[in-house]
Amino acid sequence: MTTTSRDPLAAQPTAAQPTAERRSAAEQRSVEQRFAEHPLREHLRDLDCLDETLAFNRAFERAASSRPARLAPLDPAVLAQLRRNRLGGDTPPHRLPQARDRRLPGGVRVRVLDPGAPEGVLLHLHGGGWAFGSADGQDERLWELARRARLAVVSVDYRLAPEHPHPAGPEDCEAAARWLAEHAEAEFGTRRLLIGGESAGAHLAVLTLLRLRDGRGPVHAYRAAHLAFGPYDLAMTPSQRDFGDRPLLSNTRSLQGSYDMYSPGTGPEGRRDPALSPLYADLTGLPPARLVVGTEDPLLDDSVLLARRWRDAGGAARLDVVAGAMHGFTLYPLTVTTRERRRESAFLAAAGR
């Protein structure tokens, strides 16, 4: 979910080194104590590079605060400009020649990255608050993932809000998931299917599994789910409501703006509908999942609560919480990004065998 109250896609701060902003010894001890006593400490990762991660957040906030506020709803011209650029950046995405675009029966567009002789296929759903992003927006990252995890990747160009609000996006994702379940062996030589996404894409990944299950579709064809910092309660979890206007990539106001575009005219009670908010759904029968989120993400509670409910429903759910990381941190050149990409590829390489 990208911030709409301020432009997150303008010039970005560079990753700060731990020594770039020196804290006092007292401040350092305070931060260390906070994380030592963190209620999620058993799930915390990357404490050893906390200084770098927090320094990047501070630089990001300073850069965001220096730009004029942009209030929702977005002007169509502004929306078009943001969509031309990659998520988290101010330049268009780099399209790799190894990727190819396809239009599936029914009209859904996908982008395929196949390193050759894949041992599985990942159905990937991009992030961007249901209003930004595209299947070709992360070619380099997805190609790296495909080669490292020995997977083909099929990324879905689902329809975007506000022109196409709910349920257009979930319908496109479900159609792509059904097509892949039926054609994976003929197209890629494997029936081992995985699903995953980031932010709004993680939300759509869970909805897709639920729609397959409830529509008597091939939910069991998908053997694992990788879910990165998704919004699973559009009525807002406590961490969403309490985050405030802190100018990181996502905050309370930007989330509200995204929800208004995705589900216009729907109030908090209506947004508790499991068709919109999978946190309220029956989660039985879903495959093993890995959920990842940062401690400085307004969507922290969403991953924590979904992992708990996933396990309560009888499923396997691993929760990793990255110390100090903001929403969408994997878009930026940080040590935690390098580590998280390796953890993601390791999980996907091993899952569902």
Which residues are marked as active site? Answer: 199, 297, 327
β-bridge pairing 109-113 and 100-103: antiparallel
The residues with which 14 forms a beta bridge, in sequence order, are: none
Site of tokens 């990788």: 226
Is residue 31 within 8 A of residue 44, CB to CB? The reply is: no
Q: Which of 140, 167, 162, 156 is nearest to 80 (CA)?
A: 162
Is residue 236 within 8 A of residue 106, CB to CB? The reply is: no
Q: Which of 162, 179, 170, 215 is nearest to 197 (CA)?
A: 170
Is residue 205 within 8 A of residue 227, CB to CB? The reply is: yes
Torsion of the alpha carbons at 283, 341, 258 and 126, rounded to the nearest 10: -80
